[in-house]
Amino acid sequence: MRGHWAGVGPRRPQNFRRALKRTVQWALPLWPILLFGLFATVAGVFLGQQPPRIVQYTIDRVIATNHYSALPKVILLYVSIVVIGQVIGALSGYWMSVGGQRVLHTLRMALYEHFQKLSLSYYHDKRIGDLVSRMTGDVHQLEGLIVGTSNSLARQLFGTGFALYYMLSYNRLLAVLVLIPVPIIGVSLFFFTRRVRVVYRSIRDLMGQLSAKLMENLSGIVVIKAFNREPDEYRLVEDASRRLQSESIRAARMSSAFHPFIHTVSTMGTVMVLGVGALMISRGQFTVGQLTAFLMYVSHFYMPIGDFIRTFDSIQRALASGERIFDVLDTVPDVQDPPDPVPLEHIRGEVEFRHVSFRYPSGEEVLHDINVKALPGQRVAIVGKSGAGKSSFINLIPRFYDVTEGCVLIDGIDVRRVRQSDLRKHIAMVLQDTFLFSGTVKENLRFGRPNATDEEIIEAAKAANAHEFIVRLENGYDTQVGERGVKLSGGQKQRLAIARAILANPRILILDEATSSVDSESEFLIHQALDRLMVGRTTFIIAHRLSTVRSADTILVLEGGTIVEQGDHRELVDANGLYAQMYRQQYWLDEECAPDEMEAEQTSFGIGSRD
């Protein structure tokens, strides 16, 4: 249980400078919007600094001298400044929101595009919920930094600058008194951010892992219920949520202690100004209006500093998210297109493994010195015990992984010299775990060929023995299949996968346990569909049920990552090696074996011999 959350506690100091630099680079395309927002912000802040001067004029020139005839003009000026400032602020806010949504969209799509480019090995130790969290929560945090936080930061910096300028213009001594607490605030901020940034990164990691656990459990809710694991899974999710709660409370405790401290320190400056200012008024060196305006500017000076603390808090959160995003974007795919790819428009379908060895980045060698040639149109079956390397073998053909040694050739061309998209358009796969997307039956079938006509879709469905059950569905081909095809049976989903492959019309076909999880009636229909699909195509078949590969042109027997036997079914049975042993073990369980063939197999295995 604890393994899920390893490494979430205190972490090494993170490279926030790199994250900030990369964030600025992402914001550069929005410079016209951000520049307009900056000008609007400066204009709004400047207008916001004028009311104290109007208040001073009202006290010293209108009230003190009984010149009330000027009061309507003063009020009109005050109202005009406020209204113009609000209009500018509204325009700035709108365009910054537009810019923010563009950043959000660009970042989301950049992440998704990179997810699609990353090799399958990247996903071996990743949890999908955590990756989704990076595309949603983390991207939203970074967008807030680029647009909202940057706008707030500009408002605070210029607000502090304008307030300081006007305070100096009123009285330099009082302005110096205001500045006394600033070094204390700065040093405190430095130490606060060093501690809090680690906590915020931990919070983002925990949020991602909680999302991953929730997605995993909701996807596997049937298994949880079937094994009565609700209480156990509840405890696991509660543990994850409590860890997140603990870190969030830790961050809140740090902020709650820091912000009042800053407010207390800044109040010292206000008190000093009030005391010294009152003394100056008693000596005739300052007016009541000037002190009132000065105290308003003191508020304008310290308030942005307090807001800056909260903004800096947001910056730490956003940069923690940015680091998680750039961790993904900086990951280089293990499998990449060559700089000068060889075109692969049409192929015959010859596939050759030449001295191929393969190991996963973090594991031992799973394939060793494989030499196989499949001629166009041949059927090659790969059999062996679990862990023999069968799935690794077929994953090298569409170049989901690159070989460690040797080469995989298509029509004599090394697949590493070909663009991945060009290679895979000639290959289709029908897998044991059929994946259907949320949408209609027709949309799922068109996944094999997006421009297929309705007539071509129906023809493919008929060839896959799927048309008959499709038309019986509620809305026929426009029926929603539900998430992962939840509304369909296993056999129905398999037949849709076969129709999808037929529609793609590949030259190379890969079947990975395509009939292992269906009933006998569905299996019969699927075998019929597969026989039609395999005609004229180079086909690689993985099957644990050996009765399904007897018609293969070549059967490869893998053990420990090497080919230990090779030949057709009869040759391997006569050889009485590993294949014959495996076949003998399944023999008594294979209810579909024909009587005459059973007698022949008995003779081959020496079963029933009087000798």
Separation of alpha carbons 320 and 302, rounded Å: 27
Nearest residue to 352 (alpha-carbon basis) of 390, 393, 311, 303: 393
Rounded alpha-carbon distances, angstroms, from residue 312 to 192, 197, 317: 10, 10, 9
**Residue 340, in any domain of the structure:** no
AA letter at 455: E
**Residue 408, in any domain of the structure:** no
Task: Write out the residue range of the structural domain in which residue 54 sits.
Answer: 17-118+125-329
Residue ranges of alpha helices (H) inside 505-564 are: 520-534
> Based on the domain organization, do 66 and 132 belong to the same domain?
yes
> Based on the domain organization, do 257 and 387 belong to the same domain?
no
Query: Where does residue 582 rank: exposed (0-12), middle (13-18), buried (19+ CB within 10 A)?
Result: middle
Show contacts of 562-569: CB within 8 Å, 24+ apart. 562/367, 562/368, 562/369, 562/370, 563/370, 563/371, 563/372, 566/372
CATH of the domain at 233: 1.20.1560.10
Tokens of 577: 């090696």
> Based on the domain organization, do 314 and 437 belong to the same domain?
no
Residues (pLDDT < 70) of the chain are 1-17, 219-220, 222-223, 225-228, 306, 309-310, 313, 483-485, 514-523, 587-611
Rounded alpha-carbon distances, angstroms, from residue 267 to 179, 288, 413: 12, 20, 76
Tell me how crowded residue 166 is: count the other CB atoms within 10 A of its CB.
Answer: 20
> Based on the domain organization, do 317 and 383 belong to the same domain?
no
Tell me, what's the pLDDT at 393? Answer: 92
The DSSP line for 147-196 is IIIHHHHHHHHHHHHHHHHHHHHH-HHHHHHHHTTHHHHHHHHHHHHHHH
Separation of alpha carbons 66 and 201, rounded Å: 61
**Residue 465, in any domain of the structure:** yes
Tell me, what's the pLDDT at 591? Answer: 45
Q: Indicate the residue among 329, 349, 366 that finishes a domain.
A: 329
> Based on the domain organization, do 311 and 444 belong to the same domain?
no
CATH of the domain at 508: 3.40.50.300
Tell me, what's the pLDDT at 588? Answer: 56
CB 593 within 8 A of CB 587: yes
Tokens of 307: 């807001």
> Based on the domain organization, do 450 and 314 belong to the same domain?
no
CB 538 within 8 A of CB 428: no
**Residue 145, in any domain of the structure:** yes
Number of structural domains found in the chain? 2
CA 141 and chain centroid, separation: 14
**Residue 405, in any domain of the structure:** no
**Residue 410, in any domain of the structure:** no
Tokens of 166: 């006007």
Q: Indicate the residue among 329, 353, 368 that finishes a domain.
A: 329
**Residue 553, in any domain of the structure:** yes
Tell me how crowded residue 45 is: count the other CB atoms within 10 A of its CB.
Answer: 24
> Based on the domain organization, do 312 and 384 belong to the same domain?
no
Give, for 201, the enclosing helix (H) or strand (E). helix 182-219
Three-state DSSP class for residue 58: helix
**Residue 73, in any domain of the structure:** yes
> Based on the domain organization, do 384 and 311 belong to the same domain?
no
Tell me how crowded residue 298 is: count the other CB atoms within 10 A of its CB.
Answer: 24
Separation of alpha carbons 515 and 513, rounded Å: 6
> Based on the domain organization, do 453 and 315 belong to the same domain?
no
> Based on the domain organization, do 284 and 210 belong to the same domain?
yes
> Based on the domain organization, do 135 and 217 belong to the same domain?
yes
> Based on the domain organization, do 430 and 286 belong to the same domain?
no
Tokens of 472: 């019986």
